[in-house]
C-alpha cells in the first residue's frame, strides 16, 4: 500500500519457526506475506529439506511400539504444555487465522486427543491389519500353496497441509510418525504455527529421537516453482499428501508422474438431510435443529465437514419452522465454534439482500453480524454459504435430496438415525464419503476411512517378497 494509508499496526513482522530434521532452523530470515500480514521465515536451504535415498530414513527400523509411546508422551506434553510452546503458537495463530481466539483456544486444548494410544492403534489395526506389517514382513498365503511376504515400507512424504483447523497438523504428524517415513510439511499461510509447535513439543519429549529427526516443517509460498519444481521429484519423495485448496492440488498435478504420486484430501463440502420425523414433537424438532446447528458451525463453518445445505422433508412451512429454530441455535457457542462468527462478507450480503426481497419464495432468518443466518429457498442457492450461513431447502422426500449430493459432497448428516440405512447406498452412489448421524459431522474417528480411502494404507509403500 502507499505511504499515505499504512496502518499504524505495522509492528515488526511475526517470525515463523522452521524445523529441519527435528531441530529449529537458526538460519537468517527472509520476508514473506503482504502488508498487514507480513511475516519472516528462515531462508530455505533446499538440500536440508530432503533425506537422501542412499540411506534409510532415521525411523525406518524403529519399532511401532516405541513410536506409539513417543506419540503418547507427546500428547501428554501437548496437554500440559510445560514449555509454553502451544501457548506461544496460539497467540500468533490468532493474528492470522480467520477463527476467533476462543475457538482456536479450545481446538489447541484438545490437540493431544489425536495422540491417545487407543486412537493410534485403531489406525494401525483397522488400516493396516496390525503393527506386524509395519515392523517386519507379514506372511501371505496365496493360491496353489504359494507363500509370500509383504511389508508396509516407510515412505518419503511431502505434506501440503490445510490451515483451517489446527487438528489437521496434529493428524498429519501422527500419520507421518506411524508410517516411520520421512516427512516434510509445508506450512499454509493461515496456520504457520501449529505444526512446528507440535514438532517442537515432540523434540522436547525425546530430543534427537529417530522419529523427531524424520520431520521437517517449512514455509514457502504455495505454488512457488523455485521450490516445488526442485523438491517434488521421485528422487526425493514418493508421495505428495495434499489437503484441499484447489490451486494447491492443480499446481501439484504438474509434478505428479512415475514414482511421484498424489494422495489428495480433496476440498469438500457437506450437507444434512432432516426427515419428517423431526416434526413429530416440539422436542424432536428442537433436537434436530440443535444437531443441524452443531454440524453447520463446526469451526465456524470453515471445515469441510461443516454442513451448508440442509434438506428438510416437508412443506415450505415445515422448513420454515426448522429454519427458525436452526437460526437460533447457530448463535450458540460450542466446543469448536463461537457464538459470534465472522461478519457476513459484503458480496454474500448483497446476494442475500436480494433474496430477502423475493419473499415468499425465499425467506431469511438472522442478520449479518456473524451469529448465524438461515435462508429457506425452493432449491439450493447459487452461492456458497460460508461463515455460519445455512441454506434450508424443503423436499417432498429425503430420497429427492440425494440428487443434491455429488462428488464434492463429503459428509451427509441424517436425522433421525434410523433413516441412514435406507439412504446410505444412494448417497454413496452419488459420490458421498461419510454418512453420519446429524450432529456427528465434526471430528472423524481414527481408524475409519477418510475421503473414501484408508490414509495410512495409502501412505505406505507395499513391498513384496515372493
Partner 1 sequence: MSGARAQIRSLVLSGDTFDQPAVEIRELQLEAAREAFAAHRERIPLLHTRAEETGVREVTALDDLVPLLFSHTSYKSYPLSLITAGRWDRLLRWYTTVSTVEPGDVDVDGVRDIDEWTDRITAAGHRPYITSGTSGKVSFLNCAADDLSFLHDILEHLTCWPDPLPPKPTRRGYLLAPASGPMRSIDGFRWHAEVFARPGETRLLTDDPLRVSELMSSALLRRRIAEGTATPQEISSHETASEAREAEMDAAVSGIVDDIAAHRDEPLLIAGMNNQQFALIQALRARGVPDGGLHPDTLVLSGGGNKGRALPEDYQQQFAAFYDGVRRVRSYGMTELQGSCLACEKGHYHVPPWVIPLVLDQQGETLLNPEHGVVEGRFAFLDVSLEGRWGGLISGDRVLVDFSPCACGRPGPAVLPDIQRYGDLGGDDKITCAATLDSYVRGMIHG
Q: Which residues bind to partner 1, rule: CB under 8 A? A: 1-2, 4-5, 33-34, 37, 160-165, 168, 188-190, 221-223, 243-248, 265-269, 301-304, 306, 346-347, 350-351, 353-358, 361, 368, 377-379, 381-382, 384, 386, 403-404, 406-408, 430-431
Count of other CB atoms within 10 angstroms of residue 43: 11
Q: How far is the CB of 70 from partner 1 (least distance, A)?
A: 27
Distance CA(74)–CA(59), nearest Å, equals 16
Q: Which residue in 382, 387, 319, 320 sits closest to 355, CA to CA?
A: 382
| CB closer to partner 1 out of 49 and 99 | 99
| CB closer to partner 1 out of 121 and 368 | 368
Q: Which residue in 94, 328, 256, 64 sits closest to 177, CA to CA?
A: 64
Distance CA(73)–CA(2), nearest Å, equals 50
Q: How far is the CB of 164 from partner 1 (least distance, A)?
A: 4
Q: How far is the CB of 353 from partner 1 (least distance, A)?
A: 5
Q: How far is the CB of 397 from partner 1 (least distance, A)?
A: 18
Q: How far is the CB of 118 from partner 1 (least distance, A)?
A: 25
What are the backbone angles phi and psi of residue 404, rounded to the nearest 5°? -90, 0
Q: How far is the CB of 119 from partner 1 (least distance, A)?
A: 20
- Grid cell, residue 156, equals 518419503
| CB closer to partner 1 out of 406 and 452 | 406
Distance CA(87)–CA(89), nearest Å, equals 5
Q: How far is the CB of 339 from partner 1 (least distance, A)?
A: 21
Name the helix (H) or strand (E) containing 120: helix 117-128
Instruction: Name the packing angle between helices 117-128 and 64-80 (round to 10°).
Output: 140
Q: Which residue in 5, 29, 32, 7 sits closest to 18, CA to CA?
A: 29
| CB closer to partner 1 out of 1 and 43 | 1
| CB closer to partner 1 out of 343 and 422 | 343
| CB closer to partner 1 out of 62 and 194 | 194
Distance CA(152)–CA(407), nearest Å, equals 30
| CB closer to partner 1 out of 150 and 190 | 190
Instruction: Answer whether 241's CB lies under 8 Å from 207's CB.
Output: no
Amino acid at each position: 500500500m502507499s505511504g499515505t494509508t499504512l496502518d499504524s499496526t505495522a509492528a515488526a513482522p511475526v517470525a515463523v519457526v522452521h524445523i529441519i530434521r527435528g531441530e529449529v532452523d537458526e538460519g537468517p530470515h527472509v520476508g514473506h506475506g503482504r502488508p498487514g500480514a507480513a511475516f519472516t521465515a528462515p531462508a530455505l536451504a533446499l538440500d536440508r529439506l530432503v533425506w537422501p535415498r542412499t540411506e534409510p530414513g532415521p525411523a525406518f527400523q524403529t519399532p511401532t511400539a516405541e513410536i506409539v509411546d513417543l506419540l503418547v508422551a507427546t500428547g501428554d506434553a501437548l496437554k500440559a504444555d510445560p514449555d509454553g510452546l502451544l501457548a506461544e503458537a496460539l497467540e500468533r495463530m490468532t493474528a492470522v487465522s480467520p477463527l476467533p481466539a476462543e475457538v482456536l483456544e479450545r481446538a489447541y486444548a484438545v490437540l493431544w486427543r489425536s495422540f491417545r494410544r487407543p486412537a493410534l492403534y485403531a489406525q494401525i489395526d483397522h488400516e493396516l491389519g496390525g503393527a506386524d506389517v509395519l515392523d517386519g514382513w507379514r506372511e501371505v498365503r496365496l493360491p496353489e500353496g504359494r507363500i509370500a511376504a509383504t511389508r508396509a515400507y516407510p515412505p518419503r512424504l511431502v505434506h501440503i497441509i490445510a490451515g483451517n483447523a489446527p487438528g489437521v497438523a496434529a493428524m498429519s504428524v501422527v500419520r507421518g510418525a506411524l508410517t516411520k517415513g520421512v516427512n516434510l510439511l509445508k506450512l499454509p499461510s493461515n496456520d504457520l504455527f501449529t505444526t512446528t509447535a507440535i514438532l517442537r513439543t515432540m523434540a522436547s519429549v525425546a530430543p534427537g529421537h529417530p522419529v523427531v529427526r524424520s520431520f521437517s516443517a517449512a514455509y514457502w509460498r504455495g505454488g512457488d516453482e523455485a521450490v516445488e519444481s526442485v523438491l517434488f521429484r521421485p528422487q526425493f519423495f514418493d508421495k505428495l499428501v495434499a489437503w484441499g485448496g484447489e490451486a494447491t492440488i492443480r499446481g501439484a498435478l504438474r509434478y505428479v508422474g512415475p514414482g511421484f504420486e498424489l494422495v489428495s484430501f480433496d476440498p469438500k463440502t457437506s450437507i444434512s438431510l432432516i426427515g419428517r420425523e423431526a416434526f413429530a414433537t416440539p422436542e424432536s424438532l428442537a433436537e434436530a435443529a440443535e444437531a443441524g446447528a452443531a454440524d453447520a458451525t463446526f469451526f465456524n463453518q470453515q471445515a469441510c465437514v461443516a454442513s451448508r445445505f440442509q434438506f428438510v422433508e416437508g412443506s415450505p412451512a415445515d422448513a420454515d419452522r426448522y429454519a427458525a429454530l436452526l437460526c437460533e441455535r447457530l448463535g450458540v457457542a460450542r466446543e469448536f465454534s463461537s457464538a459470534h462468527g465472522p461478519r457476513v462478507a459484503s458480496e454474500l450480503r448483497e446476494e442475500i439482500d436480494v433474496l430477502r426481497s423475493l419473499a415468499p419464495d425465499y425467506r431469511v432468518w438472522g442478520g449479518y453480524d456473524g451469529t448465524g443466518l438461515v435462508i429457506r429457498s425452493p432449491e439450493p442457492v447459487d452461492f456458497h454459504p460460508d461463515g455460519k450461513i445455512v441454506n434450508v431447502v424443503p423436499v417432498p422426500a429425503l430420497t429427492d435430496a440425494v440428487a443434491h449430493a455429488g462428488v464434492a459432497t463429503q459428509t451427509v448428516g441424517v436425522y433421525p438415525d434410523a433413516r441412514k440405512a435406507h439412504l446410505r447406498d444412494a448417497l454413496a452412489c452419488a459420490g458421498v464419503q461419510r454418512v453420519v448421524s446429524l450432529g456427528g459431522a465434526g471430528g472423524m474417528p481414527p481408524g475409519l476411512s477418510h475421503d473414501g480411502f484408508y490414509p495410512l494404507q495409502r501412505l505406505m509403500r507395499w513391498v513384496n517378497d515372493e
